[in-house]
């Protein structure tokens, strides 16, 4: 492991009152969860809404704003 990375890891663990081992395990688990989520999302079929998502958001915000007054 590069010295600079090791020092950053040590500093992070110290500032968060945990062991370096706990930090590494937490980071690895988080990265693997993100990887699995991206992989799962990539396998989903695309959905054609028939309109741009931004337009739908603008319509919904305008509706909400008119209800709030």
pLDDT at 64 > cutoff 90: yes
What would the two tokens of residue 22 be? 């706990």
The structural domain count of the chain equals 1
Q: Which domain holds residue 50?
A: 3-68
Alpha helices in the chain (DSSP H): 3-15, 20-43, 53-68
Rounded CA-CA distance 33/21 in Å is: 18
Residue that wins the pLDDT comparison between 5 and 51? 5
- The fraction of the chain above a pLDDT of 70, given in percent, is 100
Rounded CA-CA distance 47/50 in Å is: 9
Place of tokens 């958001």: 57
Q: What is the pTM of this model?
A: 0.59
pLDDT at 69 > cutoff 80: no
- Give the model confidence (pLDDT) of 4-46 as tens digits: 999 999 999 999 999 999 999 999 999 999 999 999 999 999 8
Cα three-residue angle 35-37-43, rounded to 5 degrees: 105
């Amino acid at each position: 492991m590069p010295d600079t990375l090791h020092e950053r890891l040590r500093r992070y663990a110290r500032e968060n009152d945990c062991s370096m081992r706990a930090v590494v395990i937490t980071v690895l688990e988080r990265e693997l969860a993100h990887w699995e989520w991206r992989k799962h999302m990539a396998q989903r079929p695309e959905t054609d809404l028939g309109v741009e998502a931004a337009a739908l958001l603008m319509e919904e915000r305008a509706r909400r704003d008119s209800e709030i007054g």
